[in-house]
Amino acid sequence: MNPVLEKIIQTFKDMPLSRRIVLGGLTMVIVAGFVTLFIWTNQTQFKAAYTGLTKDDAANVVANLKETNTPYRLTGDGTTIMVPEEIVYDVRLTMAKQGIPKGGGVGYEIFDKTKFGTTEFVQKINKKRAIQGELARTISAFDEVKTARVMIVMPKDSVFVEEVKKPSASILLELNADLEQENVTAIAHLVASSIQDLTPKLVTIVDTAGRILFEGKSEEEQAKITAQNLADAQYQYKIRFEENLTRRIQTMLERIVGKDKAIVRVTSEMDFSKNDMNEEIYDPFERGGEFVRSRKNRAEKIKSTLDDIPNPSSVNPIVEDETLGGQAGNELTDKSDDTFNYEISKRVRATQKPMAVLNRLSVAAVVDGNYEYKIDESGNRKRVYVPRSTEEMKRFQNIVIKAMGYNEERSDQVSMESFPFASIADLQTQPETVGWQKLQKDYGKLAGNALLVLILFLFVIRPIIKTVKDIKTTVEQEALPSPEEIALIEEDEAEPQFLEMDGKQQKEYLEMMTEDEKDSFMKDLNASERASFLEKMSVNEKAKYYADKDFDKTLNILRGWISETEEEQNG
């Protein structure tokens, strides 16, 4: 076994039990933390490519993804398909090219493959199916709508005008969340506008919970709804007018007295009644003279004599007119008629009242006063309120009057007062970080990996390398001769008689002695003789000698030799 690894194991064994447990727990926490950080920084981010799919569409999408070996995940009971974030749009475009998903119904693509010999009845049915499918897909585009089904009833054509009926439609919605009333109305108008002669009154919308979301209203109900909408619009108009005027006055005062030191409230009375008036005014003297539009002149002359009197007969007897006297047989008439038509001035005026007429305006404004710091009898610094002067308040009131558009004829009111305000702590708002989300998205993983490598090097690799170096240095130092052995070698160099003996002679010389004599002889040897003797001993003898003398040191030497032997064999 490697002496460095063996030293680590031995050091761990020599530790107390409590320290082993703490070290083991710390190691597990570090490893788990690094594993979690590594997985988190390198995991693939998935994003929903499709949500709310039908089973058929989900099966088609999954089959296509399997063919292209694209990783995916199914969530939401198989109705949501998630793919890696970087290829979401590529997947959608690829699927759209193949006409996937179809939206759970057939649309106008039903006419892409028209069979020869299709009857008119089948064509009408296919057209109806196509319209229903396209409308269902359009309605499903709402975020709150999971699925939609549209059923249309088209009446039969009739040659009699009295028997002509209008189409109707019913819509079934499966919702992810409740729809706002305005969205429901929008769906009804969307369907009604897509079908000829269909009105929103003939559209019914229900959901899968059995609730009627929209149904055709009678004229009376529709009038009530219209009145309610008009009242809401009028109220919103009034509120916006008051808020706008409040903001204008308050911001102006705050620039003078300071932020949060002015309060303004505006109340308006408006007339929303409608009163339209059309006028036609005729004024013959407007232009200061008479203008002839047309003139008609007619002259007539009538002359009668006796020759002109018809012959008497039984049918037309001559009756003498007594009023003519003796001039009955001679008559002369002369008539003259002259007619003038003059041009008359005319003005046509249409007056329409605006949406709202401001009848009265009331403004109430309150400003904070001034403050001074004074020292009381106890020597404490105290904040004292100082009200604003009458002249200053008058100037503020004049400013408000000008800003609000004061009109005395409307009986407008203005109230301007000064009171001490309660202490309001300044709101500490943190500056908005610009571009942080984009920076995190682009370089988050890279920074996480770099941080992971840095922490791993500083707290794991570097301490391990340092510990291994220290243990290796300790082993090498223990394998070197001790200072005593070095002294023995130096002493033996001063005595050439012992150095002249080789290892075999020294061995034979010692074997001639008993064990007691050998021990006594070895104790009497000086450092140089002992070092020389040890140097010329065989490996086994040297091991036996050190084993008897110092067992731990012998164990380290044996490990070093074994390591050297293994390195030579591997080399």
CA atoms within a 13 Å half-sphere pointing along the CA-CB vector of 555: 8
C-beta separation of 119 from 146 below 8 A:
no
| pLDDT of the residue at 242 | 93
If pLDDT is split at 50, 70 and 90, which confidence band does 538 have? low
C-beta separation of 423 from 371 below 8 A:
no
CB count, 10 Å around CB of 336?
Answer: 9
> Among 239-243, 336-340, 517-521, which range has the highest average pLDDT?
239-243
* Spatial distance between the Cα atoms of 59 and 62, rounded to a whole number of angstroms: 5
If pLDDT is split at 50, 70 and 90, which confidence band does 427 have? very low
3-state DSSP assignment of residue 475:
helix
Q: Select from 383, 376, 374, 393 the least CA-distant residue to 422.
A: 383
**Tens digit of pLDDT for each residue in 78-108?**
778 888 888 888 888 888 777 777 665 666 6
Residue 276, token pair as written in the block: 């339209």
- Residue with more model confidence, 325 or 116: 116
Question: What Å distances lie between residue 306 and 309, 311, 312, 326, 396, CA to CA?
Answer: 5, 11, 13, 12, 108
Three-state DSSP string of 236-299: HHHHHHHHHHHHHHHHHHHHHHCCCCEEEEEEEEEECCCCEEEEEEECCCCCCCCCEEEEEEEE
The residue whose two tokens read 């190691």 is 27
**Tens digit of pLDDT for each residue in 282-302?**
666 655 556 666 777 777 777
C-beta separation of 107 from 133 below 8 A:
yes
Cis peptide before 387 (omega within 30 of 0): no
The backbone torsions φ and ψ at residue 125, rounded to the nearest 5 degrees and listed phi first, read -65, -45
Residue 217, token pair as written in the block: 């209203």
* Spatial distance between the Cα atoms of 61 and 73, rounded to a whole number of angstroms: 12
* Spatial distance between the Cα atoms of 7 and 514, rounded to a whole number of angstroms: 39
| pLDDT of the residue at 425 | 45
C-beta separation of 80 from 53 below 8 A:
yes
| pLDDT of the residue at 53 | 75
Question: What Å distances lie between residue 165 and 153, 168, 247, CA to CA?
Answer: 11, 9, 56
Least confident of 227-241, 317-331, 343-357: 317-331
Residue 499, token pair as written in the block: 């150095």
Buried b (16+ CB within 10 A) or exposed e, 422-431: eeeeeeeeee
* Spatial distance between the Cα atoms of 35 and 473, rounded to a whole number of angstroms: 33
Biggest CA pair distance of the chain: 215
Q: Which residues contact 76 (CB under 8 A, 6 or more apart)?
A: 51, 52
Locate all alpha helices (DSSP H) within 266-417, ordered by sequence.
390-404
What would the mean pLDDT of 12-37 be, rounded to a whole number?
Answer: 80
CA triple 146-152-156, angle to 5 deg: 175
What would the mean pLDDT of 335-356 be, rounded to a whole number?
Answer: 75
Q: Select from 235, 244, 268 the least CA-distant residue to 406.
A: 268
| pLDDT of the residue at 542 | 66
* Spatial distance between the Cα atoms of 105 and 96, rounded to a whole number of angstroms: 15
Q: Which residues contact 158 (CB under 8 A, 6 or more apart)?
A: 164, 165
Residue 133, token pair as written in the block: 């499918």
Residue 447, token pair as written in the block: 């920074």
Q: Select from 10, 11, 76 the least CA-distant residue to 49.
A: 76
* Spatial distance between the Cα atoms of 262 and 366, rounded to a whole number of angstroms: 6
What would the mean pLDDT of 98-119 be, rounded to a whole number?
Answer: 68
What would the mean pLDDT of 432-454 be, rounded to a whole number?
Answer: 71
If pLDDT is split at 50, 70 and 90, which confidence band does 499 have? very low
| pLDDT of the residue at 79 | 79
Instruction: DSSP letter for 180, please.
Output: P
**Tens digit of pLDDT for each residue in 239-253?**
999 999 999 999 999
Q: Select from 343, 341, 337, 339 the least CA-distant residue to 296.
A: 339
pTM more than 0.85 = no
Q: Which residues contact 545 (CB under 8 A, 6 or more apart)?
A: 534, 537
| pLDDT of the residue at 199 | 87
> Among 224-233, 343-352, 540-549, 555-564, which range has the highest average pLDDT?
224-233
**Which DSSP helix (H) or strand (E) runs through 101?**
none
Question: What Å distances lie between residue 501 and 376, 481, 526, CA to CA?
Answer: 109, 22, 15
